[in-house]
Amino acid sequence: MTRNDLRNIAIIAHVDHGKTTLVDEMLKQGGIFRENQVVRDRVMDSGALERERGITILSKNTSLFYNGVKINIIDTPGHADFGGEVERVLQMVDGVLLLVDAFEGPMPQTRFVLERALALGHTIIVVVNKVDRPDARPEEIEDEVLELLLDLDASEEQLQSTFVYCSGREGTASLDYSDLGDNLIPLFNEIIEKVPAPKGDSELPMQMLVSSIDYNEYVGRIAIGRIKQGTIKQGQEVVVTNYHGDQTPRRGKVVNLYQIDGLTRDAVDSAQFGDIVCVSGVENITIGDTICAPDAPEPLPFVKISEPTIEMTFSVNDSPFAGREGKYVTSRQLRDRLFKELLKDVSLRVSETDTTESFNVAGRGEMHLSILIETMRREGYELQVSTPRVLFHEENGKRMEPVERVTIDVPEECVGSVMEKMGTRKGQLVEMHPTGNRMRLEFLIPSRGLFGYRSEFLTDTKGEGILNTIFEGYEEYKGEIPTRQVGSLVAYETGTAVTYGLFNAQERGTLFIPAQTEVYEGMIIGSNPKAEDLVVNVCKTKHLTNTRASGSDDSLRLTPPRVMSLEESLEFISDDELVEVTPESIRLRKKILNNQQRAKITHRK
């Protein structure tokens, strides 16, 4: 049987190529919103962090109707740290819209996701977005995409992919890049013509693969997936199995059944093969499980979720200012929150340490973990985090480490400094070619070689460089990589930083704090250009005398401080330092706060 009333598609693209904006326009033109409804931009990016950073973190499901056909659309993340999300989502669809920027062309993440989609045999529709850009080069982009498809061993059919030229912002599409078009109808027509309708049999025993998980305080875990065959009904008894045999089959019950309609979930009594549904009520369900009919518990094959590559230690805040700004400050609250995150983020690993005060948290990259820290901070948690560490593993007696493929796009005059920095960090140049008046460089570099590089990179390229990374695989340990070249300016005593003290300290390096900031002994208040730590007294006030010299009352001028973001702080700290994160502040500190104690340990070393 074929369901001609349904199409399932995913939108895949590199970060910032305009997926979410295009989905907005598709929903508007698909009649999901009322005529007079006020709709904000990027309606699919529902999280506050997603909207601020302009990135999609979790894949989102939506649907629209066109000519009596329901089109289920899945908007996927474009950032490499959330690649695990994309791989799983591709299992739910029959075709993909490959979105490519009309100037940048295919980027590392495009390659990674496209490879997965081709391997699953999906139909590809190439959408060249932002064709209204003044620097758009649609003809060249077409060649680049075809080269990429050849490179990834696409089938004959996949090489015949249709090209649609769009402007997501304007909501227009056409099959000819010289014509902008008036609306998205050409794109809708291509989806209905080219993407295969779901095939299956509603009479066979029910099977549904869980590809995504949502979490709700009231009903617990909600499994999202596509029904492979059969029909699922609300209140039905089911059996949950797993292809990799991680657990013994267990029984459960479908308490609630929803289908996605536009941006809402509508409760339904039943759904059949091809439908993407949300199921609640089945306990401890996870991604990769198959929900089956009790009389035929047959698990569906599923790609194992890729392992984390980076680890950090999250611990209870024990600084002198602990408990002042946060709502949740105890180790029990921290532990509960981290284990709760595991319910919806399957790429995360949390393990206990020797003490009850700290936990090792492993993820797919710095971005993955920094978003978790930022989310917790906004919820009112206080914690301390260590510098990121790479997870090594043994293979045939050799020590293996994760390696990233880095694509760097910089103005030509900056190539020298980038090559030099990448060389010292054990980066290996694999490709280099000009695009316009810029150069595109591709390196393979150990993950640890990138720690702390992004802020240096922005300085070296005067903010004009673009750096993208993607996990390549594991290679043999590449040897020592020199860590940061600067030291820290450390506060000498607890008190309030005053202008006079800061004025004297700023001669030694760059300050991170303004005047009137409360500091404590051992807190890092700036960086020192030499690779050693300096203890400075920023609370020191001017010694008063009873004579007034001419000019002594002239105001002292302070250079504006460099305010560190969470990511910059994590990149800056070295192994003996921590980042203290509270809802109101981000502070850097030494692990050992007492200056004399720290000096003794350094002297011993």
Binding residues for GTP: 16-21, 129-132
Tell me the three state secondary structure of residue 540. Answer: coil
Q: Which residues contact 365 (CB under 8 A, 6 or more apart)?
A: 80, 81, 309, 310, 447, 469, 471
Tell me the three state secondary structure of residue 117. Answer: helix
Answer for the pair 57, 42: CB distance below 8 angstroms, yes or no: no
Count of CB atoms within 10 A of residue 546's CB?
4
Dist CA 226 CA 206 (whole Å): 11
The strand pairing partners of 171, in sequence order, are none
Dist CA 427 CA 370 (whole Å): 24
Q: Residue 264: exposed, middle, or buried by beta-carbon count in 10 A (0-12, 13-18, 19+)?
A: exposed
Q: Which residues contact 491 (CB under 8 A, 6 or more apart)?
A: 497, 519, 520, 521, 522, 523, 524, 525, 535, 536, 537, 538, 539
- Mark residue 18 as left, alpha or beta (left: phi above 0; alpha: psi -120 to 50; beta: remaining): left
DSSP-derived secondary structure for 32-73: -S-TT----SSTT--SHHHHHHT---S-EEEEEEETTEEEEE
Q: How many helices (H) and strands (E) does the chain have?
A: 14, 35
Dist CA 303 CA 287 (whole Å): 10
Count of CB atoms within 10 A of residue 63's CB?
22
Dist CA 395 CA 110 (whole Å): 30
Tokens of 348: 């995360």
Instruction: Give the residue ranges of the annotated binding site.
Output: 16-21, 129-132
Angle at CA of residue 347, ends 346 and 349, nearest 5°: 90
Alpha helices (H) in 152-302, listed in sequence order: 156-159, 185-194
Question: Of all helices (H) and strands (E), which one includes residue 566?
Answer: helix 566-572
Q: Residue 139: exposed, middle, or buried by beta-carbon count in 10 A (0-12, 13-18, 19+)?
A: exposed
Dist CA 529 CA 509 (whole Å): 6
What pairing do the DSSP bridges indicate for beta strands 123-129 and 518-519?
unpaired
Tokens of 61: 């499901």
Q: Which residues contact 250 (CB under 8 A, 6 or more apart)?
A: 239, 240
Tell me the three state secondary structure of residue 98. Answer: strand
CA distances from 321 to 520, 582, 585 (A): 8, 10, 11
Tell me the three state secondary structure of residue 419. Answer: helix
